Amino acid sequence: MEVEAHLQEVETSDSARLLILDFGSQYTQLIARRVREAGVYSEIHPHDLSAEAITDFQASGMILSGGPESVGREGSPAVSDAVINSGAPILGICYGMQALATKLGGEVSGSDHREFGYAEVSLTGSDGLLGGLLDGGDQLKVWMSHGDRVEALPEGFESIASSRNAPLAGMADVKRQIYGVQFHPEVTHTEKGQAIIERFVHKICSCPSYWTPRNIIAQHIEQVQQDVGMERVLLGLSGGVDSSVVAALLHAAIGDQLTCVFVDNGLLRLNEGDQVMDTFSRSFGIKVIRANAGNLFLRELKGKTDPEVKRKIIGKAFIDVFLKEAKKDKQIKWLAQGTIYPDVIESAGNPNGTAHVIKSHHNVGGLPDYLNLPVIEPLRDLFKDEVRKIGKKLGLSSALIERHPFPGPGLGVRILGEVKKDYIHTLQLADHIFIEELIENNLYHKVSQAFAVFLPVKSVGVVGDSRRYEYVIALRAVETIDFMTAKAYQFSHQFLEKVSSRIINEIPQVSRVTYDISSKPPATIEWE
């Protein structure tokens, strides 16, 4: 890996950063991703962030998210004086625009005609945010989601956009660099949405494109070297994208000071254990200890059916095995984890503390106290697509980097009910056939995540002239940008029929195959 090349010609200024204040929108994480895609670092904080914290952040610009509240309701979230007095450019989106208008002396009221979904807005100004965006045209297709609307602009503002149900769908005070749009530029449904974000961060906030894979790598290598020094680090390596990128990054930073423990819990995909060892131990020269603990995990899971209980059991068993291996090397001073931002959000471990626990992630929380080691989590604030980009820069193969996500608890949460050894083997075979067909039909990279699920119910089938009373396999495939929302992939009937036929004919323990068409939300991507 040409790590030295990544450390050269790195831009010296990393001061450009945007502060995103969260007013409760389901799209807030998308705002952060869009800003980062524009090459600018961003952080999300609650809307009521203290004045001191806002000042200390030294934001190059601020974005105020949408939210479910009504600004006219008593106790609704408001824009603080510190935001206005910061002097940084401000962009309010949906509720953020309404809150800005209210704060600065405008009027907001409920509308008889709400806008949810596609809408068209006319661009009415010559400002730097929307002016001239359509190369002479004035109609922009956008995504709306609001009930209230701005009725009167604050002093010093001009109208820059209007729609049928929101005559003031955009506003600008160019002198103070304060802007607002009633629609959501962060969602993919908004035409020119990324261009709007880029105009704000580059043109209005004057931020350079510093947040690049090369610079992320350089920053993290420098930070790891500074924190660790000459001490040894232990990493739990699963073979998934996240832990693999952490392994490559740490190896680039500290070389032989890194030891990886690969806990083979027996809940991996078909032949995955051997593949992990081949990739990292033999190909990359990284020290990897393989702990074969499949029987231990099965014993601990015996009789357990609740998905959250299973996740916690698997997490604890992982820690127990990991701790046993860690004790063998008295020189270990640090623990590394492949935690990424969506893990933190879904486990309600984000600093804001506003998320509900959707499902536990065994690599989020608990490990520092249990192991009594300081923790390195270089990917904690990165989205999955960012992780993949830096992994590619570090020299990991496309086959590994582009692999679909795989949960930490493995097939243990893709087997509904109790986990049994024969269930695992059946699911491994079915999952392998599904993925094999996706690759064969050039569909694997069109799908964000695909896998099979084992259902512990039996169904009658006919194979040849014989009755078969065996288990059901469900197939799941979704497309998504951020894994916070997802929709089922629309395969052709012919493809699904082929996969179903192969699974039933090649695996005697299966008599029926179904396809899951649920979206997230309300469903999760995984079944448990």
The first and second tokens of residue 342, run together, are 């969506």
Contact of 59 with 17, CB cutoff 8 Å: yes
Identify the active-site residue in 6, 115, 186, 526. 186
Per-residue HEC secondary structure of 33-101 comes to HHHHHCCCEEEEEECCCCHHHHHHHCCCEEEECCCCCCCCCCCCCCCCHHHHHCCCCEEEECHHHHHHH
Whether 184 is catalytic: yes
Contact of 26 with 38, CB cutoff 8 Å: no
Cross-strand partners of 515: 475
Can you tell me the distance from the alpha carbon of 295 to that of 266, in angstroms, rounded to the nearest whole number? 7
Can you tell me the distance from the alpha carbon of 32 to that of 27, in angstroms, rounded to the nearest whole number? 9
**What phi and psi values does residue 404 have, to the nearest 5 degrees?**
-65, 150
The first and second tokens of residue 14, run together, are 């990393």
What sign does the CA torsion over 272, 390, 394, 444 have?
Answer: positive
**Cα angle value 4/262/265 (rounded, 5°):** 150
**What phi and psi values does residue 170 have, to the nearest 5 degrees?**
-160, 145
Identify the active-site residue in 184, 220, 251, 362. 184
Contact of 414 with 527, CB cutoff 8 Å: yes
Give burial (CB, 10 Å; 0-12/13-18/19+) of 193: buried
Largest CA distance in the chain: 82
Whether 69 is catalytic: no
What's at 125, amino acid-wise? Answer: G
Cross-strand partners of 106: none
> What are the start-end ranges of the H helices in 418-492?
421-440
Identify the active-site residue in 6, 45, 94, 207. 94
DSSP characters over 363-390: TSSSHHHHHT--EE-TTTT--HHHHHHH
Contact of 300 with 267, CB cutoff 8 Å: no
Buried b (16+ CB within 10 A) or exposed e, 41-71: bbebbbbebeeeebeebebbbbbbbbbebbb
Contact of 386 with 223, CB cutoff 8 Å: no
The CA–CA distances, whole Å, from 458 to 420, 476, 502, 511 equal: 15, 19, 18, 8
Look up tokens 């080691």; give the residue: 373
Whether 94 is catalytic: yes
Can you tell me the distance from the alpha carbon of 208 to that of 502, in angstroms, rounded to the nearest whole number? 52
- Which positions are annotated as active-site residues? 94, 184, 186
